[in-house]
Copies of this chain bind each other. A is one copy, B any other.
Amino acid sequence: MCIFLWLSAGDCPAQSVTKKKAQNYKKSPTRANPPPACLPYKIRRVRVALCLCMEEMKDTALLVIDMQRDFVEADGALPVAGAAATVGEIARCAAEMRRRGATVVHVVRAHHPSGSDAETFRRRLFESGGGYCVEGTRGAEIVDGLAPCPDDVVVRKTRFSGFFRTELDEVLRSRGIARVVVAGTQYPNCIRATAVDALARDYRVEVATDCCSAASEAVAVANVADMRLMGIRCEPWRRLSEFCAEPIA
């Protein structure tokens, strides 16, 4: 949350502030360690930008989709090539968005052991005690490194789209969310279905390309091309709109 917003008009007599004093403030900008009466212009600019960012992402949600062991880990039930490689970037993006006031929503599969709530063409996978993302099993867990924070939201789904018969739309509306950033796996199925459903509901939709994966690069490229033509912005997360040009993290 934004604690204070410090603005100064006119020229600053920066000559009166030592470099060391300014650096100390930069390291620990708290109320207990208040800013000097006037900081060099460069430091003031950074501080203002930080505060504005923290306010402006309150209308944004990061949707982290299907980053569960069964889809991400090599010995999972339905591993997606490249999903494991995105864990670090998703974690950094999520941390940054939380700091800026955005909501982080983990959208995950959760199936009955019988598979009766899975897509019909996948139900055979549940025969003989198999299946994927069976609720309560290790395969359904969110992978290490992306564990939800206390303020995050977890939404369970049984289909590709995170909006299909879930509370996702209501969660977003109740928080005043107007924009969603989509991350997770995989492009042609759950990423795209969720992005298209968000678009249909008039959210502004962006896809963080360095936080998404598919079975192959060709599949990823084809899906990104299609989504861009639908009006969905697809970029690495640091280039998505309303992020500062030089992210703080």
Interface residues of A (CB under 8 A from B): 119-122, 159-161, 164, 188-189, 193, 196, 199-200, 202, 204, 218-219, 222-223, 225-226, 229-231
Contacts and interface: CB of A to CB of B under 8 A. Distances in A.
Contacts of A223: 222, 226
B199 A196 contact: no
Interface SS majority for chain A: helix
Copies in the assembly, this chain:
2
A119 B229 contact: no
A122 B196 contact: no
Nearest to A159: B200
B159 A119 contact: no
A110 to B, nearest CB: 16
Given A200-B161, A219-B226, A231 B193 contact: no
A79 to B, nearest CB: 14
Contact of A196 (B160, B218, B219): B160
Contact of A121 (B159, B196, B231): B231
Given A188-B226, A223-B226, A119 B196 contact: no
Given A159-B200, A193-B196, A219-B225, 17 more contacts: A119-B200, A120-B202, A120-B204, A120-B231, A121-B231, A159-B199, A160-B199, A160-B230, A161-B196, A164-B200, A188-B226, A188-B230, A189-B230, A222-B222, A222-B223, A222-B226, A223-B226
Q: Please name the 4 residue pairs, one residue from A and one from B, whose CB atoms are nearest each other, closest first.
A: A121-B231, A222-B222, A188-B226, A159-B200
A233 to B, nearest CB: 10
A160 B198 CA distance: 12
A131 to B, nearest CB: 16
A121 to B, nearest CB: 3
Contacts of A225: 219
